């Protein structure tokens, strides 16, 4: 195994398995079509939005859905509620401490909102929202973070085009970064 | 030295009892010289039959070990316990294997109870032929068993600059040692036929968060396992029953539990769990992404925070060391806060990306001391101090990937406490 991926991500040491050799390679998997897997195939490749479904939702619609399904845990206008902290603000906070992590300040790509809301929210009934509802909630949260106007409508075309402030906020893993020395006597 | 936690009142009263008993025994010795005043009584258990063998049973620990339990953190209390964690009592663990009921938990939406008869694992995306597997299918393949450590990237995140946690369970308990059994991921991937452009693999769970991570193909084909058993029995529900990924040496959350889907793509997905979470703050305001390898680390588990050395004299100092970059080569222990170090004994077996047990004898003279351990792995990497890590990272808030040296202070009463950032 190479020590790093093509992107430069450290892989650690190789640990290949010794597997019992068989004269006939067993094939126990059963063929399945992508159509049969459609309901499972929920991932969005977030930098370009590949996988975003048909549908659309506005900021105004998102406000209503939020009031019905989200506000109990996340609080009014996503400022933090009974269970979770704020989902607004924090943009510009990363040079200091504490850093305020919200979808607005942290997500490099807007389709992360769609992917995460659809797969995980609401916590008591995940994967029950329609595509239109998820687009609307994405639009509302982006609007609360000042990233789209109040009249915005999100869909497979518009959501990937929203420019997120932390888009270029990531570096590839450059560890090992510490260079400690194995001193044995009179070290300090 | 006792391995029992000293924070619960039962343990404290037991200790007081032991001290009184020791005082009585000492008095008897003084009166009777070398001989005991009275012979040891025959225990009642010698005079009666024990419990009968049950027709069928799943054995449980002794009732006297009921204090050895997983527990949530005392420091970072979530207001819900679905996306939360519980921690392994490392202070009670001898050896390098964690019993299944004590392996730490980290879930993003609680523990599902999945019927293995209806569970399906799909392999699709950039493959020649998408496939689905039943559990019956998966267990038919030639299996592999591997010992590996498993550690959450957030292990230690409450204790960087000053002590917040009292015990090693709280500072380091998002760590377990497991014998995993399953099928190499490469077996399933190659059966589906990987498109040469396929460079990344999405693993996704069947839990209420549908937790998912992108993993480079190189790692998937190298040593990633699709696992259905741990420590000689089926996975526990909280550890991914009936099937999970195990990605050796990498941060725990990429080893997706309750695995239902493996998808091949040509680039990473950049999900919430690999951008807004599980990334590390840098001093310039940026974030380190895909920081997967759990770097070389060690901790003394005995004596550790919350324990008490009962008397001066000989004590075995022991702990665990591990590295996601290979094997443990050496562990050094300091008894004077890091000024001087002695090399500890490593106990066999010493395995790749696995917990390694170290031990060193110590004659405690009764004076205050600060104990710490420092591991070196097979790449030559030396476990750093927090100060070493602060040269390149921003330690702001609850930061991941804390592999720094852990100091424990022993005072003149023998009480041990966490002194991270103070030693």
Per-residue pLDDT, A183: 98
Same domain, yes or no: B280 and B144: yes
- 8 A C-beta contact, residue B255 and residue B293: no
| B242 shares a domain with B105 | yes
Nearest CA in chain B to A185: B340
Burial A87-109 (b: 16+ CB within 10 A, else e): bbbbbebbeeeebbbbbbbbbbb
- Residue B275 sits in the same domain as residue B302: no
Nearest to A166 by CA among A84, A80, A119, A101: A101
Residue B213 is predicted with a pLDDT of 98
CA–CA min distance B242, chain A (Å): 17
B193 CB near a chain A CB, below 8 Å? no
> Is A16's CB within 8 Å of B260's CB?
no
Instruction: For chain B of 423 residues, list the mean pLDDT of each consecutive stretch of 10.
Output: 43 42 41 68 97 96 97 88 95 98 97 98 98 97 96 97 97 98 96 97 98 98 98 98 98 98 98 97 97 98 98 98 98 98 98 98 98 98 97 94 98 98 87
The string of DSSP letters for A81-116 reads: -SSS--SS--TTGGGSSS----HHHH-SSTHHHHHH
Of B288, B316, B332, the one marking the end of a domain is B288
Q: Assess if residue B18 is contained within a domain.
A: no
Structural domain boundaries in chain A: 56-158
B224 touches A: beta carbon within 8 Å: no
Domain count across chain B: 2
User: In terms of domains, do B353 and B387 share one?
Assistant: yes
**Cβ atoms of residues B298 and B224 within 8 Å:** no
Nearest CA in chain A to B377: A13
Residue B74, pLDDT score: 86
pLDDT of residue B32: 43
For residue range B70-90, list pLDDT tens digits in order: 999 889 888 889 999 999 999
Q: What is the ipTM of this complex?
A: 0.95
- The pLDDT value given to residue B36: 67
Nearest-CA distance from A23 to chain B in Å?
12
Task: Find the residue in B nearest to A115 (Cα).
Answer: B271
- The tokens for A19 are 């597997």
Query: Could you write out the DSSP letters of every residue in B241-286?
Result: TT-EEE-TTB-GGGS-SSEEEEEEESS----GGGTTSS-EE-TTS-
**Lowest-confidence pick of A25-39, A55-69, B24-38, B298-312:** B24-38
Q: Look at residue B397 in the predicted model and tell me its pLDDT.
A: 84
User: Quick one: closest CA in B to A181, which residue?
Assistant: B382
Convert the pLDDT of each residue in A73-86 to its tens digit.
Answer: 999 999 999 889 99
Partner residue facing B260 (CB), from A40, A172, A183: A40
Is there a domain that residue B220 lies in? yes
* pTM confidence score: 0.92
Beta bridge partners of B107: B84
For B200, name the nearest residue in chain A, comparing CA atoms only.
Answer: A5
CATH of the domain at B389: 2.60.40.650
Q: Give the residue from B288, B312, B335 where a domain finishes.
A: B288
User: Measuring CA to CA, which residue among B193, B214, B194 is closest to residue B204?
Assistant: B214
CB contact under 8 A, A15 and B265: no
Q: Which residue of A2, A10, A13, A21 is the best one to mutate when testing the B interface, meaning the one whose CB has the most B CBs within 10 A?
A: A13
Domain that holds residue B160: 84-288
Its CATH architecture, for the domain A56-158, is: Orthogonal Bundle (1.10)
Do the Cβ atoms of A30 and B293 come within 8 Å? no
CA distances (Å), origin B117, targets A29, A150, B114, B208 = 15, 49, 9, 19
pLDDT at A99 over 90: yes
Do B311 and B239 share a domain, yes or no? Answer: no
For residue B208, count CB atoms less than 10 angstroms from its CB and return exposed for 0-12, middle for 13-18, buried for 19 or more: buried
DSSP state, B47?
A: G
Q: B317 and B399: one domain?
A: yes
Claim to verify: residue B115 and residue B234 sit in the same structural domain: yes
Return the CATH number at B107.
3.90.420.10
Closest of A20, A1, A14 to residue B352, by C-alpha: A14
Output the pLDDT for position B13: 44
Give the whole-angstrom CA distance, residue B93 versus residue B72: 17
For residue B380, what are the contacts with CB-CB under 8 A and spacing of at least 6?
A: B329
- Is residue B370 within 8 angstroms of chain A, CB to CB? no
Domain co-membership, B161 together with B279: yes
Within 24-53 of B, beta carbons closer than 8 Å to A belong to none
**Whether residue B313 sits in one domain with residue B269:** no
pLDDT of residue B34: 58
């Amino acid at each position: 195994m190479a020590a790093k991926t093509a992107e430069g991500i450290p892989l650690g040491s190789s640990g290949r398995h010794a597997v019992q050799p068989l004269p006939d390679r067993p094939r126990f998997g059963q063929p399945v079509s992508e159509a049969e897997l459609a309901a499972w195939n929920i991932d969005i490749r977030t930098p370009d939005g590949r996988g975003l479904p048909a549908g659309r939702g506005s900021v105004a619609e998102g406000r209503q859905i939020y009031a019905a399904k989200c506000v109990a845990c996340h609080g009014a206008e996503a400022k933090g509620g009974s269970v979770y902290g704020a989902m607004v603000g924090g943009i510009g906070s990363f040079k200091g401490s504490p850093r305020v992590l919200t979808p607005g300040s942290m997500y490099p790509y807007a389709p992360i909102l769609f992917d995460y809301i659809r797969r995980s929210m609401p916590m008591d009934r995940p994967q029950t929202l329609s595509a239109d509802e998820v687009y609307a909630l994405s639009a509302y949260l982006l609007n609360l973070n000042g990233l789209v106007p109040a009249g915005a409508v999100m869909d497979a075309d518009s959501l990937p085009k929203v420019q997120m402030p932390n888009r270029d906020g990531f570096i590839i893993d450059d560890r090992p970064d510490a260079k400690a020395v194995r001193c044995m006597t009179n070290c300090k | 030295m006792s391995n029992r936690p000293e924070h619960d009142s039962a343990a404290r009263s037991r200790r007081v009892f032991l001290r009184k008993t020791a005082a009585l025994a000492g008095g008897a010795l003084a009166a009777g010289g070398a001989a005991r005043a009275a012979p040891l009584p025959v225990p009642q258990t010698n005079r009666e039959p024990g419990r009968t063998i049950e027709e069928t049973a799943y054995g449980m620990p002794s009732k006297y070990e009921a204090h050895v339990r997983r527990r949530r953190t005392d420091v970072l209390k979530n207001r819900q316990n679905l996306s939360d964690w519980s921690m392994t009592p490392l202070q009670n663990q001898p050896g390098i294997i964690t019993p299944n009921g004590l392996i730490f938990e980290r879930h993003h939406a609680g523990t599902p109870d999945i019927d293995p008869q209806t569970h399906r694992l799909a392999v699709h995306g950039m493959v020649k032929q998408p496939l689905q597997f039943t559990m019956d299918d998966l267990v038919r393949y030639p299996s592999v068993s591997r010992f590996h450590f498993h550690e959450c990237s957030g292990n230690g995140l409450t204790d960087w600059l000053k002590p917040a946690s009292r015990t090693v369970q709280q500072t380091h308990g998002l760590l377990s040692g497991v014998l995993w059994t399953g099928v190499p991921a490469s077996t399933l991937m190659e059966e589906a036929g990987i498109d040469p452009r396929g460079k990344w693999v999405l693993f996704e769970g069947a839990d209420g968060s549908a937790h998912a991570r992108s993993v480079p193909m190189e790692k998937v084909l190298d040593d990633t396992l699709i696992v259905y058993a741990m420590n000689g029995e089926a996975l526990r529900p909280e550890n991914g029953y009936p099937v999970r990924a195990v990605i050796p040496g990498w941060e725990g959350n990429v080893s997706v539990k309750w695995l239902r889907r493996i998808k091949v793509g040509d680039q990473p997905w950049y999900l919430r769990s690999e951008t807004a979470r599980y990334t590390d703050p840098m001093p310039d305001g940026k974030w380190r992404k895909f920081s997967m390898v759990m770097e070389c680390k060690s901790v003394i588990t005995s004596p550790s925070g919350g324990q008490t050395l009962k008397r001066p004299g000989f004590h075995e100092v022991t702990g665990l060391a591990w590295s996601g970059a290979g094997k443990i080569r050496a562990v050094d222990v300091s008894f004077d806060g890091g000024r001087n170090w002695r090399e500890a004994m490593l106990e066999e077996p010493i395995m790749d990306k696995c917990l390694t047990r170290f031990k060193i004898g110590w004659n405690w003279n009764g004076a205050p001391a600060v104990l710490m351990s420092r591991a070196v792995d097979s790449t030559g990497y030396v476990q750093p101090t927090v100060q070493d890590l602060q040269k390149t990272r921003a330690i702001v808030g609850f930061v991941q990937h804390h592999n720094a040296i852990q100091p424990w202070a022993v005072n003149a009463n023998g009480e041990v406490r966490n002194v991270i950032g103070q030693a």
